[in-house]
Structure 1
Amino acid sequence: MFRKKYLLLGVTAVAAAGLLAWAFSPKPVPVETATIVNGRYEQAIEEDGRTRLKDRYTVSAPVAARVLRISLREGDRVAAGDTVAVLLPAMSAMVDARSNREATERHHAAKANVTRAAARVARAQLGAEEAQLELHRVEKLAREGFLSASRLDSARLALSGARREVDAARAERDAAGHDEAQAAAALLPANGAQGGKPLNVKSPVPGVVLKVPQASEGTVPAGTALLDVGDPARMEVIAELLTTDAVQAQPGRRAVVERWGGPPVEGRVRRVEPAAFTKVSALGIEEQRVKVIVDLDSPPPGWQAMGDGYRVTLRVITQSVDQALLAPVGALFPIGDGGTGVYVVQDGKAKLQPVELGGRNGNEAWVRGGLQAGQKVIVYPPPAVAEGKRVQARRP
């Protein structure tokens, strides 16, 4: 009886000691892990951009006119030579009572000038006839020797001058007639546009209507934009890069257009503009930026849903390596004098491992040495993790 009692007490003491040892023993640190894999490493310059058509045509009114209502709407397709707008002569300005009275008096004055000019023509013709008769008399007397040759020359010159006076009087009569017609036109009612000949404005290229700023009927001055036409199949992307990044984005570089609402679209840098400009960032910092233009290489069905002026994210690839050893950036931390290391999970414990990097981007790092594919590394190691510390991967 006493033997069983002592045996039970001994088992209880051993169990209590084991429970205490387990309770006070160091527990594994829960960590997040990731696997080292082989893959494609890319280092890129990332910046917001926007799409735009390569060729955009603004159809404008060539003259001041009254434009009829435009039936085309954004998205309608047009062919080269299609009529996109119809112009009519603009109506004359409205005339008030005072202006009408002034125009009437000017018309009366113009008619009087016509009468005066006609009277001057008649007077000039009489003078010419008188000079012609005088010349006949002088010629007869000169032949009989009663007058000198100089007197004959004077008569001939007088006739020539009289004829010039007739020509000048007739010209003044014509000018007075035109002035009278102009004054009479000012009195016509303001409905001259109803009988005017329409002018058809045509599309210069085939494409899609992008914008119709002047859809309603109205009177417009010369040069007013009526609508914009462009070909959505000819698209490009423009982004404003920092000048320090634009040095690496040389023409011919591969680029990827992302975050536009569809799959990534491949492209190539076509041009880096030669002149930079100053732009103030959202934080109030002055930055020197330059515009970079990218041509899209993917076929139109891949990005036909992308329109003009869409906001996108442009990635210009500056470095690309196939079959590179990739590690998450969150697993890296500085060690020693400028070195880089990671914690590798080995036999349930954390092991500090220095690594050699070939490059890094926002998500991944290219590891040239120190790791192998398939190894587990700790991502964002907590402060409790140290060399030889027991760790346990969190369950997803």
Structure 2
Amino acid sequence: MFGNFHIDKAKLAYAAFGAAALAALAWAFAPRPVQVETAVVERGRFEQSIEEDGRTRLKDRFTISAPVAARMARITLREGDPVRVGDTIAVLTPVMSSMFDERSLREATARLKAADANVTGAAARVEHARVAQEEARLELLRTEKLAREGFLSASRLDSARLALAGAERELEAANAARQVTVHERAQAAAVLQPAGAAAPGEPLAVRSPVSGVVLRIPLQSEGTIVAGTALMDVGDTDRMEVVAQLLTTDAVLARPGTRAMIERWGGPPARGVVRLVEPAAFTKVSALGIEEQRVNVLIDVLDAPAAWRSMGDGFRVTARVITASADDAVLVPVGALMPIADGGVAVYVLEGGRAKLKPVELGGRNGMVGWVRSGLAPGQVVIVYPPPNVADGKRVEGRRV
């Protein structure tokens, strides 16, 4: 009896060991949830943009040169000094009276007539810019009225305001160009003055044709110079633009009037608007040795100069041209988006501990998020960068990124 008890006890021990071994094998080979990273679908503002390095430059840069061969006194101005229209920037003492033969006289007369024609053309451009400004102002008034009545969107109203701002700046540029042509005509007329008007030893004051800031002085010290020598570069630092070299495939989206942001220049971001996409492209070799077709895109700075006063001529910036935007968009990380067989896009949604493949309709995407028009709702949990072993209906265990 006691021997049978010992035998039964041993059998029970073997059976328990076998059951434990089977349970361990079943646990070892049982399918386990796939570890995945997840994120929550949210609502927010979406912007799709083209980002490219650019540089700043003054819209109007003027090089003032010597009208005659002369002895130049030392220039007292320095880079950064302000000048106004008519300020004396250099004093010249002509080294000899102007001497003309018949051919030189005809050339000087022709230059004066050309200067007169330039003044007339500049006056016409001023009137054209004034008409364009008035047209933009009237269009803004009509747009504001329709927007208040709910017939137009806010983006249409913003475009009308930007158009008026651009027209005002075009008028300012036209007036500045007209001032330049007036002073050029005066210089051309001075060449035809009698010889006694520029007698040796009589100082000749060279005056600035525009208001602005001294940018560069090639010759600071006193010396003898020839006619046409550059004396000084002057420009208005309040009239700044950004030049960005965009790929031609991107430039077709950066139409005039498109909003832009100017960033990473050392100060706060500044608002801008695309003024012009130059009509001719050029070939540029990238850092990887790839030939690219690029085109210059000119962006006007819209913010008041006080906001970007420390941004100077030739600064390196990042221009971000905004091609699409939405204020209340359903946003999903781009890492959750994946192509599917029919050419569309889908995401894996985490539901009940399992991955469920859901097609979505995209309105756009940028480097961070995608704008989902349909297929997802805010608050849903999606799988980010799904591993290869994730499939529709697969058990998963998520951890928030």
Deviations for 1:169-191, whole angstroms, at most 9, x for unmatched residues? Answer: xxxxxxxxxxxxxxxxxxxxxxx
Which residue does the alignment assign to 2:373?
A: 368
Instruction: Find the aligned partners of 1:202 and 1:4 in 2 and give their Cα distance.
Output: 118
User: What 5-or-longer segments of structure 1 have no aligned partner?
Assistant: 92-194
Instruction: Find the aligned partners of 2:246 and 2:394 in 1 and give their Cα distance.
Output: 45
Q: Is the partner of 2:218 in helix, strand or coil?
A: coil
Instruction: Find the aligned partners of 1:305 and 1:197 in 2 and give their Cα distance.
Output: 41
Instruction: Find the aligned partners of 2:21 and 2:398 in 1 and give their Cα distance.
Output: 29
> Where do 1:118-197 residues align within 5 Å?
196-197=201-202
Deviations for 1:102-147, whole angstroms, at most 9, x for unmatched residues? Answer: xxxxxxxxxxxxxxxxxxxxxxxxxxxxxxxxxxxxxxxxxxxxxx
> Where do 1:349-360 residues align within 5 Å?
349-360=354-365
Which residue does the alignment assign to 2:284?
A: 280
> Where do 1:26-105 residues align within 5 Å?
26-90=31-95
Q: Is the partner of 1:384 in helix, strand or coil?
A: coil
Q: Is the partner of 1:301 in helix, strand or coil?
A: helix
Alpha-carbon distance change, 342 to 198 in structure 1, aligned in 2, over 3 angstroms: same
Instruction: Find the aligned partners of 1:71 and 1:393 in 2 and give their Cα distance.
Output: 72
Tell me whether 1:262 sits opposite 2:263 in the alignment: no
Which residue does the alignment assign to 2:141?
A: none
Instruction: Find the aligned partners of 2:61 and 2:249 in 1 and give their Cα distance.
Output: 31
Counterpart code for 2:280 = A
Of 328, 347, 350, which aligns to 1:345?
350
Instruction: Find the aligned partners of 2:86 and 2:265 in 1 and give their Cα distance.
Output: 34
Instruction: Find the aligned partners of 1:83 and 1:9 in 2 and give their Cα distance.
Output: 111
Instruction: Find the aligned partners of 1:331 and 1:395 in 2 and give their Cα distance.
Output: 13
Which residue does the alignment assign to 1:204?
A: 209
Q: How many Å apart are 1:373 and its aligned residue?
A: 0.6
Instruction: Find the aligned partners of 1:64 and 1:12 in 2 and give their Cα distance.
Output: 112
Is the Cα contact below 8 Å between 1:243 and 1:276 reproduced in 2?
no
> Where do 1:11-26 residues align within 5 Å?
22-26=27-31
Tell me whether 1:293 sits opposite 2:298 in the alignment: yes
Which residue does the alignment assign to 2:150?
A: none
Q: Is the partner of 2:386 in helix, strand or coil?
A: coil
Is the Cα contact below 8 Å between 1:260 and 1:306 reproduced in 2?
yes
Q: Which of these two proteins has the greater Rg computed from alpha carbons?
A: 1
Counterpart code for 1:278 = F
Instruction: Find the aligned partners of 2:353 and 2:220 in 1 and give their Cα distance.
Output: 73
Give the structure-1-normalised TM-score.
Answer: 0.64
Deviations for 1:338-382, whole angstroms, at most 9, x for unmatched residues? Answer: 121111122333221111122223332221111111112122222
User: CA-atom RMSD, angstroms?
Assistant: 3.1
Deviations for 1:34-92, whole angstroms, at most 9, x for unmatched residues? Answer: 2211122223333332211122121222222233333333222223333322333459x
> Where do 1:214-233 residues align within 5 Å?
214-233=219-238
Tell me whether 1:239 sits opposite 2:244 in the alignment: yes
Is the Cα contact below 8 Å between 2:39 and 2:400 reproduced in 1?
no
Instruction: Find the aligned partners of 1:350 and 1:235 in 2 and give their Cα distance.
Output: 53
Alpha-carbon distance change, 391 to 77 in structure 1, aligned in 2, over 3 angstroms: farther
Counterpart code for 1:38 = R
Counterpart code for 1:381 = P
Is the Cα contact below 8 Å between 2:38 and 2:400 reproduced in 1?
no
Q: Kindly, what percent of the aligned residue pairs are identical? A: 62
Deviations for 1:311-339, whole angstroms, at most 9, x for unmatched residues? Answer: 22223223222211111222111112212
User: What 5-or-longer segments of structure 2 have no aligned partner?
Assistant: 97-199
Alpha-carbon distance change, 218 to 7 in structure 1, aligned in 2, over 3 angstroms: farther
Counterpart code for 2:283 = K
Alpha-carbon distance change, 6 to 196 in structure 1, aligned in 2, over 3 angstroms: farther
Is the Cα contact below 8 Å between 1:349 and 1:390 reproduced in 2?
yes
Alpha-carbon distance change, 225 to 342 in structure 1, aligned in 2, over 3 angstroms: same
Tell me whether 1:310 sits opposite 2:315 in the alignment: yes
Q: Which moved more, 1:235-244 or 1:329-338?
A: 235-244
Deviations for 1:235-260, whole angstroms, at most 9, x for unmatched residues? Answer: 11222334444333332222222232
Alpha-carbon distance change, 352 to 66 in structure 1, aligned in 2, over 3 angstroms: same
Q: Is the partner of 1:249 in helix, strand or coil?
A: coil
**Count, aligned residues:** 291
